[in-house]
Amino acid sequence: MAEDRSPTVLRIDGGREAGIRRYFRAISAIVWKDLAAELRSRELMSAMLVFALLVILIFNFALELSVRSVETVTSGVLWVTFVFAGTLGLGRSMAIEKDRGCLDGLLLVPVDRSALYFGKLLGNLIFMLVVEAIVLPLYSLLFSVNLFDPRLLLVILLGSVGYSAVGTLLASMAVQTRTRDMLLPILLFPIVLPVVVAAVKASNAIQQSLEMATIWPWLNLLIAFDVIFVAAAFMLFDFVVEE
Amino acid sequence: MAAGDANRSMEPMPILLKVLSGFSVALFSVALYMVWFYAPREVVMGEVQRVFYFHVAAGWVGALAFLVTAIAGAIYLLREESRWDLLALSSVEIGVVFILINIVSGSIWAKPIWGTWWTWDPRLITATIMELIYIAYLMLRQGIDDPRRRARFGAVYGIAGFISVPITFLSIRLLRTIHPLVFGGEGGSLAGSFNMEPPMFLTFMISLLAFTFVFVTLLWHRYRLQLRAEQLEQTKMKLLLE
């Protein structure tokens, strides 16, 4: 698709390599734009963080988490927290684009639309990872569990990639509907559930320090879903932003 | 132009559709008769096992309907002709109903065999998620006014949501589950499994065929209704503009 859309642009820039460099520059420009806006306003990140802490707080009362009982539910509580906070971030990050007419501007940029998708995906992923990076140590402090296992961090990274991949696609759809904030979780949760289930199962197995033989199937599943979801969203994104 | 539209909306039901409707009713009656009177009573489970024939057939129709939606959605994205979108929508509506039949009939079967209406088993969960995805599909469409955007988003969600169908199908083959696997597995030890005798197999095949015909018939009727609704909408808009 890239070839038939911007052949002239490629030629002006002197060939294919420049086109590829241009593509990555567009992605990084979008990511940078999101980060810079967030650094100045800090509204998205602070909302996600406060929300995440509130979810953990509610879980604490609902499940009567104590240092002893927390072991078995940690991965579940963490993932529900990430998923809820993630939804908040995704909805907001796309609503900003839509409401201030920024999306129309981005669509006019003469690069492939998928650059826009990957840019937003990376931005959303970074926001989610930052929130997770703050929630994780806080959680281990509050409930005295050790969460610093590189395998667990890998699972969280993979899970977040899959989640943001589907989330970015569906959030760009949801913001263009009448019932946007209500609709996003309803659209997103059932589709992204395979990723979340695999991530929870893998995290749980790691938490309970089971041997790698039980962790691998879930990890493989997680990677497979990541690949499927990124590829599907990459192909479908064009149709979602087209006007 | 207006007269042409009026003529088109008066268009009689195609002969083939009439024949198909009659045939579906007849075939369904045969299937019903076979399920009740021809298929032998299962030794262990008794009469309730007869739920099996329609339970699996309804699940099959649901999966088939969602496949039709995904394919029609893909064609819509390529061609942008609204009839493909109407076909996809019609198919989802039917699929949602049949998966509901599938879940409810499974529940009726589960009560005496597993001793509970519902259990958190991978198969039951994946089927429910599938149902929720397509209910979300209908809600997504309700939230969009512009018909072209509605069609495009519907197509995208129908394609993305289709991943739940193979997951549901494979869930009893890959995961540890108490759901019986009647075909191609050695799930003989699970509660609810049974060996299929030839009359049972024949009854099952006829049920499957009957449900497939019912699906095609319903889809065609629903599609025609959607086309009419669209024509009505266009006529209304035209009258409003005049």
Query: What's the pLDDT band for A21 if we cut at 50, 70, 90?
Result: confident
Query: What's the pLDDT band for A101 if we cut at 50, 70, 90?
Result: confident
Whether residue A95 has pLDDT greater than 60: yes
Whether residue B194 has pLDDT greater than 90: no
- Other Cβ atoms less than 10 A from the Cβ of A235: the count is 17
- Other Cβ atoms less than 10 A from the Cβ of A105: the count is 10
Look at chain A and count its residues: 243
DSSP classification of residue B189: G
Whose tokens are 């691998």? That residue is A216
* Residue-level pLDDT at B23: 95
Give the chain A residue nearest B140 (alpha carbons): A183
Q: Name the more confident of A178 and B187.
A: A178
* Residue-level pLDDT at A174: 92
Min Cα distance B41 → chain A (Å) is 38
CA angle A196, A200, A201 (to 5 degrees): 120
Name residue B191's amino acid: A
Query: Which residue, among B174, B207, B209, B172, has the nearest Cα to B193 in the 3D structure?
Result: B172
Whether residue B209 has pLDDT greater than 90: yes
For A53, the token pair is 């802490």
Look at chain B and count its residues: 242
Whether residue A5 has pLDDT greater than 80: no
* Mean pLDDT score of chain A: 87
Task: State how far the alpha carbon of B225 is from the alpha carbons of B23, B24, B30, in Å.
Answer: 20, 19, 28
Q: With pLDDT > 90 as the criterion, what percentage of chain B qualifies?
A: 59
Give CA–CA dist B121/B113, Å, rounded: 14
Q: Do B143 and A178 touch (CB under 8 A)?
A: yes
Which positions in chain B touch A191 (Cβ < 8 Å)?
133, 160-161, 163-164
Q: What is the pLDDT of residues B49-104, one digit of tens each?
A: 888 899 999 999 999 999 999 999 999 999 999 999 999 999 999 999 999 999 99
Q: Do B167 and A194 touch (CB under 8 A)?
A: yes
Query: What's the pLDDT band for A120 if we cut at 50, 70, 90?
Result: very high
Query: What's the pLDDT band for B185 if we cut at 50, 70, 90?
Result: low
Q: Do A176 and B155 touch (CB under 8 A)?
A: no
Mutate to test the interface with B, among A225, A227, A236 (most CBs of B within 10 A): A236
CB nearest B133 (choices: A180, A190, A242): A190
Query: What's the pLDDT band for A1 if we cut at 50, 70, 90?
Result: very low
The alpha carbon torsion through A178, A184, A129, A229 (nearest 10 deg) reads -120
Please tell me the least confidently modeled range out of A81-85, A165-169, A186-190, B44-48.
B44-48
Q: Name the more confident of B154 and A19.
A: B154
Q: Provide the domain count of chain A.
A: 1
Whether residue A9 has pLDDT greater than 70: no
For B48, the token pair is 């309730």
Task: State how far the alpha carbon of A223 is from the alpha carbons of A226, B7, B188, in Å.
Answer: 5, 55, 33
- Which residues in B have their CB inside 8 Å of a CB on A? 77, 129-130, 132-133, 136, 139-140, 142-145, 149, 152-153, 155-157, 159-161, 163-164, 167
Give CA–CA dist A79/A135, Å, rounded: 11
Task: State how far the alpha carbon of A196 is from the alpha carbons of A85, A165, A200, B28, in Å.
Answer: 14, 13, 6, 41
Q: Do B157 and A183 touch (CB under 8 A)?
A: no
Average pLDDT of span B202-216: 94
Q: Name the more confident of A83 and A3.
A: A83
**Nearby residues of B128 by Cβ (< 8 Å), 6 or more positions away:** B103
- Other Cβ atoms less than 10 A from the Cβ of A86: the count is 28
Q: What is the domain extent for residue A83? A: 2-241
Whether residue B186 has pLDDT greater than 60: no
- Other Cβ atoms less than 10 A from the Cβ of B190: the count is 17
Q: What is the pLDDT of residues B4-20, one digit of tens each?
A: 444 455 577 888 999 99
Give CA–CA dist B167/B161, Å, rounded: 11
Which positions in chain A touch B151 (Cβ < 8 Å)?
none
Q: Do B139 and A186 touch (CB under 8 A)?
A: yes
* Mean pLDDT score of chain B: 87
Q: What is the pLDDT of residues B94-128, one digit of tens each?
A: 999 999 999 999 999 988 888 888 988 888 889 99
Q: Name the more confident of A51 and B173.
A: A51
Q: Do A239 and B132 touch (CB under 8 A)?
A: no
For A160, the token pair is 């977040």
For B148, the token pair is 């072209």
Give the chain B residue nearest A193 (alpha carbons): B129
Are A39 and A126 a contacting pair, CB within 8 Å?
no
Q: What is the pLDDT of residues A43-77, one digit of tens each?
A: 888 999 999 999 999 988 888 877 777 777 888 99
Query: What's the pLDDT band for A158 if we cut at 50, 70, 90?
Result: very high
Q: Is this prediction's pTM over 0.80?
A: yes
Query: What's the pLDDT band for B183 if we cut at 50, 70, 90?
Result: low
* Residue-level pLDDT at A15: 65
Whether residue B197 has pLDDT greater than 70: yes
CA atoms within 13 A on the CB side of B58: 18
Q: Do A183 and B144 touch (CB under 8 A)?
A: no
Q: What is the pLDDT of residues A181-234, one digit of tens each?
A: 889 999 999 999 999 999 999 999 888 888 888 888 889 999 999 999 999 999
Q: What is the pLDDT of residues A123-137, one digit of tens each?
A: 999 999 999 999 999
Task: State how far the alpha carbon of B213 is from the alpha carbons of B69, B107, B242, in Å.
Answer: 17, 25, 44
A72 φ, ψ to 5°? -75, -25
Q: Name the more confident of B56 and B191.
A: B56
For A135, the token pair is 């929630």
Whose tokens are 């734009």? That residue is A33
Whether residue B145 has pLDDT greater than 70: yes
Mutate to test the interface with B, among A176, A187, A221 (most CBs of B within 10 A): A187
Query: What's the pLDDT band for B221 if we cut at 50, 70, 90?
Result: very high
For A134, the token pair is 């703050």
Whether residue B236 has pLDDT greater than 60: yes
Q: Do A186 and B136 touch (CB under 8 A)?
A: yes
Mutate to test the interface with A, among B75, B76, B140, B156 (most CBs of A within 10 A): B156
Average pLDDT of span B144-168: 92
- Which residues in A have their CB inside 8 Å of a CB on B? 166, 169-170, 173, 176-180, 183, 186-187, 190-191, 193-194, 228, 232-233, 236, 239-240, 242
* Residue-level pLDDT at A171: 94
- Other Cβ atoms less than 10 A from the Cβ of A142: the count is 15
Give the chain A residue nearest B160 (alpha carbons): A232
